[in-house]
Amino acid sequence: MRSQFKLALIAGACLVATAASAQVTFNANYENDTTYIDKKPATTTNGGRLELNAGATAKNGSNFVTAKGTALLKQDGTTGIDDAWIQAGSAAADVKIGRFEAVDLFPLGQDTLVEKVGGVSGYTANALRGRETSTGVKTNPLHAAIGLNAGAVRAELGLFAATGTAGASEVYGIRPTLVYSAGALTLRAGFENIKSTTAADQNGYGLSLGYALSSSSSLNANYANNSDSKNSSFGVNGQFGGLGLGLIQDKNNTNSVTTFYASYAMPLLGVKGATLTPALSNSSTDQAGVSSVTALRARINYAF
């Protein structure tokens, strides 16, 4: 813990030192979740975290360098890191390296609570997206993304490599993606190729279509398929002001899981930056003998 705070102080000093030549930003928010899950046995939990963000951007003509760090102070007494990355380039091309999330090929919208029945694994083309991955190896990964911009199109090549504890296994792969944005329309497409020294290769792709109905309302449809694991997922969701609705169907060779989720974000006591978001989720499967799962959550968030 002491070493983490020392690192935080050093990072803060470096940011202050660069303030004369960089645009430095600081912000924070606190989030608390009280969650009830109706399963056997039913559970009620409460958890929260304070998120601290620091970032800076410096420019030289059309070139730029930007960096961001996000620290988490959790209610259970532990700490964590979300973002920790640096990006450099120009309007035409850039490179990003560190801990971050790349293009989301299966956006869920306002996913305050998505509690799924176990037993059937879908696929959302996010195994190499970054931060937490489903590759099974998360020890000091190398994650980088090379981006090219041409008008309404952004092409990005993600590179990932990680070694397990004591060199027991290695996972590496590539994740090319394309994003087309024109007016209210956003199209995303991408492919993942994952190789491992201890498991079979995995190949999958994801497609997403988004359309903005207004500044506060949007619709989205997603599909992803892994040809090696035979898992796939289809999802639709919408945002209508503070209301978020979504439906996901995960499939494998023989079974499927259907999950519905909804939430509504509302101002808390009229205070700027404070919201209360009640949410629910219901998930059912066609597997024999497996009961559906219903969950409820109350989320409080205060950004300051």
45-66 pLDDT per residue, tens? 999 999 999 999 999 999 999 9
Is domain 101-260 classified as CATH 1.50.10.20? no
φ, ψ at 17 (rounded to 5°): -65, -30
Segment among 32-46, 130-144, 175-189 with least mean pLDDT? 130-144
pLDDT over 50 (residue 9): no
Q: What is the reported pLDDT for 118?
A: 83
- What percent of the chain is modeled with pLDDT above 90? 77
The pLDDT score that the predictor gives to residue 268 is 97
Task: List pLDDT tens digits, range 245-290.
Answer: 999 999 998 899 999 999 999 999 999 999 999 999 999 999 888 8
Q: pLDDT tens digits, residue range 97-117? A: 999 999 999 999 999 999 999
pLDDT at 11: 47
On the question of pLDDT at 239 being above 70, the answer is yes
What mean pLDDT is predicted for residues 16-22?
51
| pLDDT reading at 234 higher than 70 | yes
* pLDDT over 60 at 135, yes or no: no
The amino acid present at 78, given as its one-letter code, is T
- Give the model's pLDDT for residue 199: 82
Q: What is the mean pLDDT of the chain?
A: 90
Q: 55: helix, coil or strand?
A: strand
CA dihedral 126, 128, 129, 131 (to 10 degrees): 110
What is the value of pTM for the model shown?
0.88
DSSP 176-242: EEEEEEETTEEEEEEEEEEEESSS--EEEEEEEEEEESSSSEEEEEEEEEETTTTEEEEEEEEEETT
> For residue 69, is pLDDT > 60?
yes
Distance CA 212, CA 210 (A): 7
The answer to whether residue 164 scores a pLDDT higher than 80 is no
Mean pLDDT confidence for 160-168: 73
Q: Could you tell me the residue ranges of all domains in the chain?
A: 1-91, 101-260
Nearest Cα neighbor of 89 from 110, 65, 69, 107 is 65
Listed residue (97, 86, 81) closest to 7, CA to CA: 81
Among 193, 190, 263, 184, CA closest to 222: 190
* Predicted pLDDT at 137: 52
Cα distance between residue 170 and residue 18, in whole Å? 38
